[in-house]
With several copies, the nearest count.
Chain A
Amino acid sequence: MTTESPDSLILSLEGFEGPLDLLLDLARAQKVDLARISILALVEQYLAVIEGAARIRLELAADWLVMAAWLTWLKSRLLLPAEDPEAAEAGQSAELLAARLAELERMRAAAAWLSARPLLGIDVFPRGAPEEHTATDRSRLVADLPALLRAYVEAVRRGTARVTYQPRQLSFWTVQDAIKRLTATLGSMPGWTTLERFFPALSGQEHRAALASTLLASLELARNGQIRLRQDSPFSPILVASPRDP
């Protein structure tokens, strides 16, 4: 790392990925096995670079300065007599730094090894116009019985829904219904009224059913004295009147 001009120094710093990158480069300059580099020499070189850079560029990135501070600490401990416990601690830290640098160096070598491989799509090429030898048979059907049942139910339901199905109004009355109707409408019927007038106009079987239940209801009410009944001759209309009516 040379420091002829401040500008070249800045440029060379910016060329590094980080403090470790610079340290590795400085270590390589020692031209020895990375495991045997002089950490002390390395530290001094790094600090010199940072000091030189800091003189001209105070806003130097924080991680460079943090590394510088740590290395300053490391240097001060490494300079202590070997028997000092703090020197032993520093020795360990130095070993770790060396190990980190070694690993980074190894990964650089790994990246270089990978880069030297013939790369697919760059150095070597696969078949450019692949052929498709797969035929698709779509003759079979996915359809099972449950699906068929569902389909039928849905079809019928939708078909009937569209006609807006409405059940026929049914007029079969129970005797209870007839009693209710008779008692409710009796007051509004002046004098003798035919039984047929106590249910709506119906025809056929429905008429006869309504007539039967209304007759039964009228007999029940007459028994209790709630109405009066009268039939002038056989098969003539049955007449109903309120007990209060004359």
Chain B
Amino acid sequence: MTEDLDQYIRLAEALIFASAEPTTQRALTALLPEDVDADTILRELQKRSEGRGIELVQVGLGWQFRTAPDLAGRLTRTISRPRRLPRVAMETLAIIAWHQPVTRAQIEEIRGASLSQATLDALLEASLIKSAGHRDVPGRPALWATTPGFLAQFGLNSLSDLPKRADLVLETVAPITAASTIPAD
């Protein structure tokens, strides 16, 4: 009988191991001879698994092997998968960088589109921008500026490392002084 018991424990182990879903006591009973009690087998298997890297646990209506909790932490590999800022967030950040301190209304004016709270929140959460007081006009709108984290993210020593706006935006912000009679180039 002991030898048989060993066989049944092996069978239960293999069944629980290979099953995609937790193995119910009923499924195990169906696999065992009538005179063998599934519960006994499971208890014995559980006892034998003690101190191993995996343990037999009851999940819902069935049984499943799981990694021992004290090892799970050591097994966890952290994969760094950097995210990309959405275009709207990137543009908003750029406007804040070059125009800071700047109000939301000003950002909207420059982009020619309304700015969602979600975009501001995303930039705040990424520690790229911070509030920088209020503009002293009616409504006292919040002013936004970049953080040291912004400098770190973009590998800048200071904001003066950013190219001048005039060097960036050439044709659209052309000076108005040039006479229309003079050919552009």
Is residue A31 within 8 Å, beta carbon to beta carbon, of the partner chain? no
Residues of B within 8 A of A163 (CB): 112
Is residue B181 within 8 Å, beta carbon to beta carbon, of the partner chain? yes
A132-190 contacts to B, CB under 8 A, are 132-138, 140-145, 147-149, 151-163, 165, 167-170, 172-174, 177
Q: Is the CB of B112 within 8 A of A127?
A: no
Q: Is the CB of A145 within 8 A of B76?
A: no
Is residue B30 within 8 Å, beta carbon to beta carbon, of the partner chain? no
Q: Is the CB of A107 within 8 A of B110?
A: yes
Q: Is the CB of B97 within 8 A of A162?
A: no
Q: Is the CB of A33 within 8 A of B79?
A: no
Q: Is the CB of B111 within 8 A of A118?
A: no
Q: Is the CB of A133 within 8 A of B84?
A: no
Q: Is the CB of A149 within 8 A of B171?
A: no
Residues of B within 8 A of A120 (CB): 66, 152-155
Given A96-B181, A96-B182, A99-B176, A110:B97 Cβ within 8 A:
yes
Q: Is the CB of A129 within 8 A of B19?
A: yes
Q: Is the CB of B83 within 8 A of A141?
A: yes
Which of B20, B155, B169: most chain A Cβ within 10 A?
B169
Residues of A within 8 A of B22 (CB): 129
Residues of B within 8 A of A102 (CB): 169, 171-174
Is residue B18 within 8 Å, beta carbon to beta carbon, of the partner chain? yes
Q: Indicate with 1 or 0, residue by residue over B82-110, a CB within 8 angstroms of chain A CB atoms.
A: 11110110111111011000000000011
Q: Is the CB of A142 within 8 A of B168?
A: no
Is residue A117 within 8 Å, beta carbon to beta carbon, of the partner chain? yes
B97 touches which one: A104, A114, A165, A177 (CB < 8 A)?
A114
Is residue B51 within 8 Å, beta carbon to beta carbon, of the partner chain? no
Tell me, in angstroms, the Cα distance from A20 to B112 when the chains sit together.
5
Chain A interface, >50% SS class: helix
Which of A19, A95, A119, A127: most chain B Cβ within 10 A?
A127
Tell me, in angstroms, the Cα distance from A162 to B114 when the chains sit together.
12
Which of A5-13, A44-52, A63-71, A224-232 contacts the other chain? A63-71
Q: Is the CB of A21 within 8 A of B72?
A: no
B159 to chain A, nearest CB (A): 12
Tell me, in angstroms, the Cα distance from A159 to B90 when the chains sit together.
15
- In the complex, the number of residue pairs spanning A and B with C-beta atoms less than 8 Å apart equals 292
Q: Is the CB of A63 within 8 A of B185?
A: yes
Which of B78, B85, B152, B182: most chain A Cβ within 10 A?
B182
Is residue B140 within 8 Å, beta carbon to beta carbon, of the partner chain? no
Residues of B within 8 A of A70 (CB): 182-183
Is residue B175 within 8 Å, beta carbon to beta carbon, of the partner chain? yes
Residues of B within 8 A of A151 (CB): 87, 90-91, 93-94
B107 to chain A, nearest CB (A): 9
Q: Is the CB of A144 within 8 A of B155?
A: yes
Is residue B21 within 8 Å, beta carbon to beta carbon, of the partner chain? yes
B50-98 contacts to A, CB under 8 A, are 64-69, 72, 75-85, 87-88, 90-95, 97-98
A-B contact pairs, 17 of them (CB 8 A): A17-B112, A33-B170, A95-B174, A96-B179, A106-B165, A107-B110, A110-B97, A125-B75, A127-B65, A133-B18, A133-B77, A135-B76, A141-B83, A148-B154, A154-B91, A156-B95, A168-B176
List 8 A-B pairs, minimum CB-CB distance, nearest first. Answer: A20-B112, A99-B174, A125-B18, A152-B94, A162-B112, A18-B113, A118-B69, A159-B112
Known: A157-B169, A168-B176. 9 other contacts (CB 8 A): A35-B172, A93-B181, A93-B182, A109-B168, A118-B69, A129-B20, A136-B79, A144-B155, A156-B110
User: CB within 8 Å of A: which residues of B?
Assistant: 14-15, 17-22, 64-69, 72, 75-85, 87-88, 90-95, 97-98, 109-114, 126, 152-156, 162-163, 165, 168-176, 178-183, 185
